[in-house]
Structure 1
Amino acid sequence: MAEQIRLALYVQHLLGIGHLRRAAALARAYVDAGIDVLVLSGGVPVADVDFGAARVVQLPPCLAADSQFSALLDADGQVIDSAWKDRRRDLVLKETAAFRPDALVIEMYPFGRRQFRFELLPLLYWAQNANLLVASSVRDILVDKGRDDRVTEAADLVRRYFDLVLVHGDPRLVPFERTFPRAPAIADRLHYTGYVVEKPKTVGAVDRSGGEVLVSAGGGAVGAPLFTAALAARRLSSLKERRWRFVAGRNLPEADFAVLQQAAAIDPGIVVDRFRADFTELLANCHVSLSQGGYNTVMELLALHTPAVIVPFAEGQESEQALRAQLLAERNALDVLDADNLDPAALAATLTRRAQIGALPIDLDLDGARHSVEITLNALAKKRAGVLRG
């Protein structure tokens, strides 16, 4: 009987929960393929994120101080210091070594999460000495920080430490070099997996005619402006006789959540949830969706053929959501409105228009979790046989 393959997966979410949800979907796919999976999670714990049968090690949690990522805070809200970094680095190395993996997958680094070099570079050095297969797991679009030196550094790190770069996207929508210009330098490592999408339980034809207007903002940390605009748009909308459901997200500040609750207390047509474990099913059956443009939600909308209006989060240098949404809007797969000029009347009209048009299908690979497993296993076999390129 063949020995079970072991894979360690490192993920660090800082503001939203999209990175964590994508990592969880990958972990489940690896487990379903018979792989023993250890997840090293460095963000604040999030209930109801399903890692399947993977074992999760919760590292001392770290989060962003604000949407500008001005500082990194520990669980007590204090700026992390060198002693904190030393403790976490040692725990990462200890847990990974004890697990004895055959493969290591690091989410986002070296294309992001540069603040965590204090633990990731020692981990990569250890993995190289242990002759592990090492892969970077990265979404389709990177945020342009305007730093050519960082782009060059990332490419150099890939060539030095990584066997694979798993790009969770489809080049027919956006090639990786669109936001990572050094992609040709690592072309032999790049593998497009398709988009990683939560598999919906709902199948078959859906009658949306009696559905609700579903308003959401991922984890909710930066969702307040969208919710405020949606409340104003409801009063002006031809859809105001429908139920409007606001799924606030666990990270929406309490003061902003209270505003939604007050609106629901006045208007029986408004329903407010902090979190819904069946969110994918809500997306599958709603009349129209209004949301921010997070990777996971957008891909679920496409997979479920849900009529959607997107208001991308674009504070600071965040450009990822806006670019992906715009590329999809150009194909009429959804509608996009600018968060900086979110007029309630325009929002109301756009929701009505998209609900009438419906979701127009777009041909994209949405089987990214399964393809990630196939690519990883194929590369591991080649590495063991000494024929992996690099």
Structure 2
Amino acid sequence: MKALFYSINGIGLGHLSRTSAIAKQMIDDGGADIKFFTKSDFNLFLEDMGVPFVKSPPVGIGDDSEAFIHLVNEYLPKVIIYDNFFPHGGLLYANSRGIRNVLILRNKKKGFIEKELSDYGDVYAKFDLFVVTEDGLKDRLPESVLERSIFTGPIIRESVRDNNVAKRYGIKEDDFVVCFTCGGGSNSKRLPVFNAVKGAWEELKGKIDGLKFIVLRGPFSGDFPESEGIIVKEFEKDMTGLLAHCDIVISHAGYNTVNEIILSKKPSILIPVDSKDDCQLDRAMNVEKTGIGWCLKEPDSKHIASLVKEFHDKPRVREGIRKAFESINVVPGNKEVSDAILRLLKEERDVLKLGKSCNNNCVCCEELGNKIGIEK
């Protein structure tokens, strides 16, 4: 039962983190044979699971159809899972070979998904299953997509129960731990936030006993030098395990981080970063509306520091957030997504190599294969 994941990140970890969580669940549930197609440089998720991967060429997302088709023809998976983005040529080729195609969707800015479906409706028609993992999309999808969709909880890399997390970070019982996650994406958009958090540290040091800042800078190259009370790491594989030892989180409002924060029941100061498709502002405002954190539309050192200090100093603030979390029950969708994909894997359906008649008895795939040099 072969499954292939198309998990193409920009410079962040989001896609690889989500898809590796699904892959782990599938391996645990059914022993699926899994391979990844990725260009991420953070492949420890896959190496730890013993999952093989093929690196995409250094081209833009969606411009890697040729390399992807070569892999599909070589590996012959029964199902391909794409996280939000997909190479159109690769999808069309896989569909014609009898391969099942699954697209994972999260919420997008208003108008983005609508335009995609309007412009490329014939391409989206090739998907066998849509997995919707975030609220806000159901009323925006056409019936043709809804009838092939399942709606699940968020995909979250749950804790690997590393009992050494506190030891690795030197966290003591009486420390007050602030975790700052920088996320991926454009460095230019993240630099103001990065600098504001550095400024907040300067405002707070000496004012809170046992203050410790843990900075997870991801692929961001900003300078946050380690000193007493500051620990800087590139990333943390066991994010929810680390958050269990933190008091408050400062972050952007990316899908993964917000869900990890909510699952861990930790208050957060969210500073959304604008992007062409992701709706970070909506996500951050929803956190503030539910009373479990704050949304800052602009990065401001003094404002960040004052919120951290208020949370530390005022029991009524901490109690209010604790009560707000009581009404929130996050059930990760990992298991439900795994079950749906495994059902597709178990279906009796032939996967055809290049040169055999495809489902539609056309020659488009053979022509495409000849064009990119795949041998029959």
TM over 0.5: yes
Whether 2:92 is the aligned partner of 1:125: answer yes
Contact kept in structure 1, 2:57 and 2:67, CA below 8 Å: no
Greater relative contact order structure (CA < 8 Å, 6+ sep): 2
Q: How does 1:37-186 map to 2 (within 5 A)?
A: 37-41=34-38, 43-50=39-46, 52-62=49-59, 88-109=64-85, 120-139=87-106, 141-144=107-110, 149-159=115-125, 161-169=126-134, 174-177=135-138, 181-186=140-145
Q: Which amino acid aligns with 1:198?
A: R
Amino acid at match of 2:69: L
Question: Which of 213, 237, 247 in structure 1 is aligned with 2:215?
Answer: 247
Q: Look up the equivalent residue of 1:150 and give its one-letter code.
A: E
Match of 1:18 in 2: 14
Q: Which residue of 2 aligns with 1:69?
A: none
Q: TM-score, normalised by structure 2?
A: 0.77
Q: Against the structure 1 CA distance between its residues 30 and 290, is the aligned structure 2 distance closer, same or farther, given a 3 Å change threshold?
A: same
1:109-153 superposed Cα distances (whole Å, 9 cap, x missing partner): 3xxx5xxxxxx23322232222222111122x1134668543313
Q: How far apart, CA to CA, are the structure 2 residues paired with 1:146 and 1:91?
A: 27
Q: How does 1:1-390 map to 2 (within 5 A)?
A: 5-33=1-29, 34-41=31-38, 43-50=39-46, 52-62=49-59, 88-109=64-85, 120-139=87-106, 141-144=107-110, 149-159=115-125, 161-169=126-134, 174-177=135-138, 181-202=140-161, 210-219=175-184, 222=187, 223-237=190-204, 240-253=208-221, 256-257=222-223, 260-261=224-225, 264-265=226-227, 268-314=228-274, 316-317=275-276, 319-338=278-297, 341-355=298-312, 356-357=317-318, 358-359=321-322, 360-361=324-325, 362-381=327-346
Q: Which amino acid aligns with 1:121?
A: H
For the Cα contact (< 8 Å) 1:102–1:133, is it kept in 2?
A: yes
Alpha carbons of 1:123 and 1:220: their partners in 2 closer, same or farther (altered >3 Å)? closer
Distance 1:185 1:283, change over 3 A: same
Provide the rounded CA distance (Å) in 2 between the counterparts of 1:62 and 1:235: 40
| Count of matched residue positions in the alignment of Structure 1 and Structure 2 | 330
User: Alpha carbons of 1:330 and 1:239: their partners in 2 closer, same or farther (altered >3 Å)?
Assistant: farther
Distance 1:102 1:17, change over 3 A: same
The Cα RMSD (Å) is 3.1
| DSSP 3-state at the match of 2:42 | coil
Q: Distance in 1 between matches of 2:303 and 2:5?
A: 43
How far off is 1:53 after superposition?
Answer: 3.0
- TM-score by length of structure 1 reads 0.74
3-state DSSP class of the match of 1:244? strand
